[in-house]
Amino acid sequence: MLIGELASRTRTNERLLRYYERVGLLSAERRHNGYREYDAAAEQRVGQIRALLAAGLSTRVIGQLLPCAVDDGRLRACPGVLPALRDRLTELDRRAVELDVARDLLRRTITQTERSG
């Protein structure tokens, strides 16, 4: 399939698909006219990339994890997969605590401001 069709099927703009290819997350064959042609697995691969990006993983880490993906989108426990996922979860947990503290401070500030107004 051509890049436009892949973009449409995955609801991902073509510029992002080119970027995924440039950083090694996605591959395409080139037709004689230079157009990219993606195989049938590209659609699922883009879905995996987008899901892992939504989980906050970097493209560098995603590049390490994708070889461990199986057909249904799950990840096998290849070397380094679980530590990478656990590291990201630890970071998200840390940020969640920081956000909770900031939210509580903002609520107190709003309450105090309302009382003094």
Helix, strand, coil distribution of the chain in percent, nearest 5 = 65, 5, 30
Report DSSP state, residue 33.
Answer: T
Q: Nearest Cα to 93, choosing from 58, 56, 66?
A: 56
Q: What is the pLDDT of residues 9-42, one digit of tens each?
A: 999 999 999 999 999 999 999 999 989 999 989 9
What is the pTM for the complete model shown? 0.77
What is the pLDDT at residue 13?
Answer: 95
**Count of CB atoms within 10 A of residue 53's CB?**
15
Look at residue 80 and give its three-state secondary structure. Answer: coil
